[in-house]
Structure 1
């Protein structure tokens, strides 16, 4: 498979005219050459933090506080999840997966509620079991929650926050199993940041209320952070200091709860870019390569040997035509209507 156009090559997304050569599920080469194509080719997105079980409750709970919405065990989302059948959750998640795939997300890191049963529901949604949409080709990194016994069936553990429980034992279990441990921290206030960092997590989520000493500590440890600014704004907890975090550690973008926001990485990039005023290349890296680095995956950049997860945009769409800075246009302007093709694992999974 060859795809021609303007290729955003490598970790710095250098725009080059040419083609991406795909062999099997890998990128074999990037060849510079003249083409007639207006396509813009970039890595498929890596969504670094999701809760897609919330697909059963989109836009529920308007006006509720963060705790009333999502705090375990009796926040609104948890009550709705308990009330929903396995089949209802699978069907709702399958629709969200189809949307994510069609809008260029190739990989996502999911904090999956419901213990073993919750992980199985997501696996069923990915496999298309019992739904009309068929199997999805996204790669899911599933971090189970609510039950330490979830580790054998999950890719790691996603802790709700250090104030909710003592996660020391489960952190040690993930380390022994060689699996990921992520934890929410600093979402509503700064009180749980140091206890979360004391666990030496593989990554932190949110860090809205990171203060100077926390930023210094991040610089020392290099602990990555997944930020979800649209979600934080909706729940009225503030917005993360994205620029300050990025100056100290690896920062990736996530869309958080489907209950609150669409899992669109286009929208997340645009909001993060305009909120932080960081260079477009850095924001695009947050939406691709940085999330892949957190999960230890070989996607997120167009380089030989990496997994062929590619997003192809129509550079001659009414929205993108005439862009003087193609990377900035991708980050601040592009949207789902500009998607012409999505390739995951070397296979075309969506075509406009």
Structure 2
């Protein structure tokens, strides 16, 4: 991935624009901004794709990676505040270890083509500051949208609400955050659809999961232009999805919802957007260009789109197909979505 102050020219098979058109082209970058993309008659044998944006993470959960889960534990037993397993582990872990864990996950994310993310950060003010410290120590330059809670929302980019089931006070906090100009996001519909309507009523900037949303709720999201971040691998691992109907991604897209892709808890799922795209491709039967858009479009949440277009930041990476069997691909876009691993970039 490129640096924000770099100036250079690079050529290859470019996945251009929001339609992801594959063209032999030369990209001119000046001070980290794409100044021009010009078609050329012959380009080096490398693919150039936009970087990915992970639209939902819990990076501090790295300290609980693959923790033992006892038979019969429910979703609430595992992740619900304040006494779910992950929260107990977070509270028992020293601050310096949480920072170290997040630092390593950030470095992994950069290696796996991710250039930005949106994180729900527990732990109040200290929790938000720990992630800011990890970002600095990681040296990754990843663009972050940090959503705090328990007071952390006051020094973060906004608030990340666990669920409207927590009570009226979280709705008040969300409204206060919105009045300050902060970003507001809710988990909604992960376990059932009972917390979805109240979350939509709050008119947030982002909804997470919507795994069990009904048609009416999806239409409301489309009408109100509320983006939805889905996390398919997490939903399946945690037993909240058993088919392509949960989350109902096909319906979301057909209704006109803006759908984004995230990886959710590092406790259960590696923050690997390549793996998330591949799983979504095979499990949900979507078109490769739909999935690629879901994996890039989250960058618009930070008003810094990663699409390879003139005027956008130079957030792209290269794939060398000659280094593997990818050189036999007849569709680089499809191969990037369902086959490329971070070791290929």
TM-score (norm 1): 0.91
Which residue of the partner structure matches residue 184 of structure 1?
187
CA distance in 2 between counterparts of 1:274 and 1:191 reads 29
CA distance in 2 between counterparts of 1:138 and 1:2 reads 22
| 8 Å contact kept, 1:47–1:255 | yes
In the comparison of the two structures, how many residue pairs are matched? Answer: 330
Query: Which among 246, 249, 252 is matched to residue 260 of structure 2?
Result: 252
Which residue of the partner structure matches residue 147 of structure 2?
143
CA distance in 2 between counterparts of 1:36 and 1:30 reads 13
Which residue of the partner structure matches residue 219 of structure 1?
222
Please identify, of 78-87 and 317-326, the stretch whose mean Cα deviation from structure 2 is larger.
Answer: 317-326
CA distance in 2 between counterparts of 1:319 and 1:165 reads 53
CA distance in 2 between counterparts of 1:291 and 1:30 reads 22
Which runs of 5 or more structure 1 residues have no equivalent in the other structure? 129-133, 340-352
Alpha-carbon shift at residue 139 of structure 1 (Å): 0.8
| 8 Å contact kept, 1:210–1:241 | yes
2:294 is aligned with 1:286 = yes
Q: Does the residue aligned with 2:103 lie in a helix, a strand or coil?
A: helix
Which residue of the partner structure matches residue 303 of structure 2?
297
CA distance in 2 between counterparts of 1:168 and 1:255 reads 25
Alpha-carbon shift at residue 37 of structure 1 (Å): 1.7
CA distance in 2 between counterparts of 1:99 and 1:301 reads 22
Alpha-carbon shift at residue 36 of structure 1 (Å): 4.7
Alignment of 1:315-326 (within 5 A): 315-326=321-332
Which residue of the partner structure matches residue 277 of structure 1?
285
Query: Which among 7, 27, 48 is matched to residue 14 of structure 2?
Result: 7
| 8 Å contact kept, 2:25–2:43 | no
CA distance in 1 between counterparts of 2:74 and 2:45 reads 46
Which residue of the partner structure matches residue 200 of structure 1?
203
Query: Which among 308, 311, 325 is matched to residue 314 of structure 2?
Result: 308
CA distance in 2 between counterparts of 1:320 and 1:65 reads 41
| 8 Å contact kept, 1:319–1:338 | no
| 8 Å contact kept, 2:58–2:266 | yes
Please identify, of 176-185 and 47-56, the stretch whose mean Cα deviation from structure 2 is larger.
Answer: 176-185
CA distance in 2 between counterparts of 1:315 and 1:4 reads 14
Alpha-carbon shift at residue 223 of structure 1 (Å): 1.3
2:37 is aligned with 1:37 = no
Which residue of the partner structure matches residue 344 of structure 1?
none
Cα-Cα RMSD: 1.3
Alpha-carbon shift at residue 292 of structure 1 (Å): 1.7
Deviation digits for residues 154-180 of structure 1 (CA, Å, limit 9, x no counterpart):
001000001023222212222212121
More helix by share: 2
CA distance in 2 between counterparts of 1:338 and 1:173 reads 45
Which residue of the partner structure matches residue 104 of structure 2?
95
Deviation digits for residues 205-234 of structure 1 (CA, Å, limit 9, x no counterpart):
001101122122223222110000000000
| 8 Å contact kept, 1:116–1:153 | yes
CA distance in 2 between counterparts of 1:90 and 1:32 reads 44
Query: Which among 32, 45, 53 is matched to residue 46 of structure 1?
Result: 53
CA distance in 2 between counterparts of 1:317 and 1:113 reads 41
Query: Which among 260, 264, 269 is matched to residue 261 of structure 1?
Result: 269
Please identify, of 224-233 and 198-207, the stretch whose mean Cα deviation from structure 2 is larger.
Answer: 198-207
CA distance in 1 between counterparts of 2:299 and 2:26 reads 23
